[in-house]
Structure 1
Amino acid sequence: MRTCTNCGAQFADDELFCPVCGQEVQLVPDFETIESKIAQSEKEKEEAERKREEERRFQEQLEQQKKKRMHKLVLMFVLIAAAVIIVTVSVVAAIRSRTVNTFDYQYAQAQECYENKDYTGALEHLKKALGYEPENDDANLLLAKTEYQLDQNDEAAEVLEALLDRNGSLEEAYELLFQIYQDDSRPEKIQARLKKCSLTDILEKYSRFNPQPPVISPEGNTYNDTVKVEITADGTGEIRYTTDGTAPEKDSNLYTGKLELSQEGTITVQAILVTADGLVSDPAEAEYTISYDVPDAPVISPVSGTYKKMETEESGSYRSESVSSSSGEDTAQMITVKVPSGYTCYYSWDSKPDKSSKKYTGPVEMKLGDHVFYAVLCSKQGKLGKVASCTYIYTRVTPTPANTPTPTPVYTYTAPQNAEAVETPTPEPTETATPTPTETPTPTAAASESQSDKS
C-alpha cells in the first residue's frame, strides 16, 4: 500500500494517481533536500494536528452525545422524581388535609397555643374548630377565655351567655362571666344571670348580687280592724314600698316602720329591696281588704211615748215636774243613751245624726212638743252604725187650784215605734164628779224649744 503525499490517503501500489486527491504518484523518489524534509515534516505535523483535531472533535461529539444521553437520563429521572414527589405530596396533603381540617386537630392546636400564651394563634384555631362544631361547650369556653385574655370582654361575655343558655350547669362559665361583669362594673348583669341559675354553690357564692324579695306580714287577707303591716328583708339595703297599686321603684316610699292600714277598702302593699349596688329585688305583694263591723243601734231610754210636764204653785211661782203618763217618777225629762266602751255616740233632734252632730256626753233634756230623738254609735275606726230613734210627745199640764179636790188623773201611753203596742187599761172614774186637769195645747217644735229655754 502506498500513501499519497498530498492528502495522506492509502491506495494500492499499482495506482498511478491518488484516488482521493488525484495527485500523481511518484514512482521514483525525489532527491530529498532539507527543505523537502522540512516541508515533509511540517506536513506531517499538520497531518498529525489535523488528526488530533478530528479526534478531539470526535471525542467532543462523543462527549456531547454522552451528555445528551445523560441529560435525557437526568431529565427522565427528574421527571420521574417530580412525579413521585407530586404523588407523594398529594397523598400527604390529602392525608394532612383530612387531619388538619377537623375539629379535633384545630382544637388541639388551639389548646397548645393557649398554654403557650399565644392567644392570637389560639383564637384563629378556635374559630376554625368552631366552624366544624359551633356548639361545642369546651371550644366555646376556651374561646371566651382566649377573648378575655385579649381584653375582648364584650365578645367573651356574649359567648358565655349563649353557652349558659344552652348548658346552665357549667360552673367555670359562670365564674368567668361574673368576673367579666365585675371588672366592667355591671352587677345588674350578674343578677339577671343568677335569676336563671339553678346551681346552689353559685347562688350562695354570689347571693349579694341577687337580693331576695322582702317579707310582708301579716299575710294578705280580709280584716275587720286596723292592720299594722311589717316589712322585713333578708339582706342589707333599703326597702321601698307602695300602697296605691303601682309597682315600687328605687325612689318609692322608704320603709321606716310598721304601716298602719285603717281606711276601709282593698289596699295592695308592694315592696322591693334596693341594695347599695343599686340592685333591685323582685317585688313582694300582699293584698288587704279592710271591712269594719257596723255598730249596732244604741239603746235609748226612755222608750218612745207621750210624757207630761206638771207645774205646781210654790211661793207665788210654779215648779215644773216631769212625770210619765204611767207613773209619777221624775225621769221622763232626761234621755239617756247606752254607749259601749270604745264607741262614740252622736245624737240629733228630728234628723238623722252624723259625725258633725252633737257628741253624747251625758243625759239629754227632753224637748217640749212632738220630736224624734236620734242617736248613732261610731266605732274607733270612724265607722257609723245603725241609727236608733225614739219619738217623744212632751206636753205641759196646767196646775189645779189649791182648794180644788185632786182629780183622778187620766193616763195615756203611746207605744214605742220599735215595740209592740201594749194596751194600758184606763181606771174607771168615781161617781163623784170632779173637774179634770186642762191640758195645754201641744206647742210646735220651735215654741217648745223656746219654752224649754225659758224654763
Structure 2
Amino acid sequence: MSEEERRRRNRERARQKARRKKKQKRALLLALFLLLIIAVVGVFAYLTSYIGAVNKGNRALGRNDYTTAEDSFRNALAKDDTRPEAYTGLSKVYQAQDNADKAERLFTSALKKQGENIELYRACIKFYIRSDQKEKIPELLDEADSSISDALPEYIVKTPKFSLDDGEDYDDVQQLKLTAASGCKIYYTKNKKKPTTGSRKYTGPIQIEEGDTTIYAIAVNKAGIPSLPVRKSYTVELPIEDAPAVSPSTGQYSSAQEIEIKVPDGYTAYYTTDKSEPTTSSTKYTGPVEMPEGETIFKAVLVNAKGRVSGITTRNYVLN
C-alpha cells in the first residue's frame, strides 16, 4: 500500500470518527432534552396533584398565609375528597382563624357522605383532640357504623358500671359504687346534668339519700377521652312514722291540762284545734300546748325532712 493510500484511509477513519462523535453528541443532547421535558412534566404533574396541593397548603399555613392555604386545600379536595390530609389542613386553617365550628362542620358534612371512611373518622377525632373537644369523640363513634368503632378501638372507652340497679325503690339509704376500666377516672353529677372532667371526681361510694336521686357518670382514660355518659335514677323511701303519740288521751278533764306530742328525730309535728286536717301550714308544735276550755278536737301529724306525712292522731277533749 502506497503512502498516499495510507493517508487517505487515515483521513477517512478520522472523518468517520468525527461523524460518530457528532451523532453521539446529538443523541446526548436529545436525551437531556427529553429528560428536561419529563422533569418539567413531572414537576407540573406534582404541583397540580392532590399531594402537591396539600403540600402547598401546608407551606402556606406555616407562614400564616391562610388565603393561599385554604385555596390549596380546597383544590386538593376537588381532586380527591376521600383522603384525610386536605380536611386536616383546611380544619387547621379555620382553627387558626378561631372558627372551630366551621372546622367541625367540614368533617361532619363529609362523614355524612362517607360513613365508611375510617381515615376520615380518624382525622375528625384528631381534630376534636386538637381543639380540646374530646367529649364529642364518644358521640361521634356511637353514631358511626360498628365497623368504624371496631377499627378505632384506641378511642373507645367503656362506660362505668353501677353497683345498684335503677328502677327499684329502696327503703333505706344506699351506698352506690362506680367502677371503670383500669387506668380510667370517673366523674359524675347528681343534678341531672351531663358530667365532664370538671365535674365531681369519684373517689368512693356515693350515698343515695331519701328521695329521688339521678347519677350521671363518665369514665375518662389516660388520654383524656371520655366514655358515653351513663344515667341511673334511684328512689329511696324511708319508712314513715305512724300517727304521732299524743297525750293525754281523749276524755273529760276538770283541771288544766297540757297536750304533748311525741316527735321522733328527723320529724316536725303540726296540729290544729278547729277540727281541720293538719298540714305543714298548720301550727307548728314547739312544746306542750295548754288545753283550751270547753270541747276541743285536737289533731296532730308528723312530717319528715322530705315532706312525707304520717297518719293523723285525733283527740277529743272536754275541759270543764
Q: TM-score, normalised by structure 2?
A: 0.46
Q: RCO (CA 8 Å, sep 6+): is it higher in 1 or 2?
A: 2
For normalisation by structure 1, the TM-score amounts to 0.35
Structure with the higher fraction of residues in helix conformation: 2
Computing the radius of gyration from Cα coordinates, the structure with the larger value is 1
